[in-house]
A and B are shown apart, each in its own frame.
Chain A
Amino acid sequence: MDELIFFINRVLISGTVLGSIYALGAIGVTLIFGILRFAHFAHGDMMTLGAFISFLLATALAAAGIILPLPMGFVVLPVAMVITAILALGIDKGFYAPLRSRGAKPVTLLIASIGVTLMMQGLIRLVFGTSTQTMYVAGETKDIFRFDMAWAGGSRPISVTEPQLIMFVVTAILVLALHLFLTRSRLGKAMRAMSDNAPLAQVSGINTALVVRVTWIIAGALACVAGTMLALDVALMPDLAFNIVLPIFAAAIVGGLGHTYGAIVGGFLIAFAETLAVFNWTAVLRPLNGILPEGMALPANLALVPTEYKLTVAFVILVVTLLVRPTGIFKGASS
Chain B
Amino acid sequence: MQHLVVFLILFPLISALFLLLPPCGKNVAIRRISACCLSLITLAISLIVLCQVIAQGPISYAIGNWQAPFGIVLLADQLAVILTSLTAFLTCCCVLYSCAGDDNKGNFFHPLVQFLMMGVNGAFLTGDIFNLFVFFEVLLIASYALLMHAGDKQNTRAALHYVVINLIGSAIFLIALGTLYGVVGSLNMVDMANKISQLTGDDVYIAKIGGSLLLIVFALKAALLPLHLWLPNTYSTAMPVIAALFAIMTKVGIYSLLRVYNLLFAENSGQLAAMGQNVIWIAALATIVVGAIGVLASQNMRKLVSNLVLVSVGTLAALVSLQQVNATAAAIYYLVHSTLVCAALFLLVDLIARQRGKVADRITTGRAINQPFILGFGFFIAALSVIGMPPLSGFVGKIWILKTTYEHQAYQSFWPVYLTASLILLIAITRAGSIVFWQNKNSPTDKADVNNAKAVHPAQLVATYALVLASPLMVIFAKPLTKFCQDAAMQLHNIQLLTQTVGGLS
Report whether chain A binds chain B.
no
Interfacial residues, chain B to chain A (CB-CB below 8 A): none
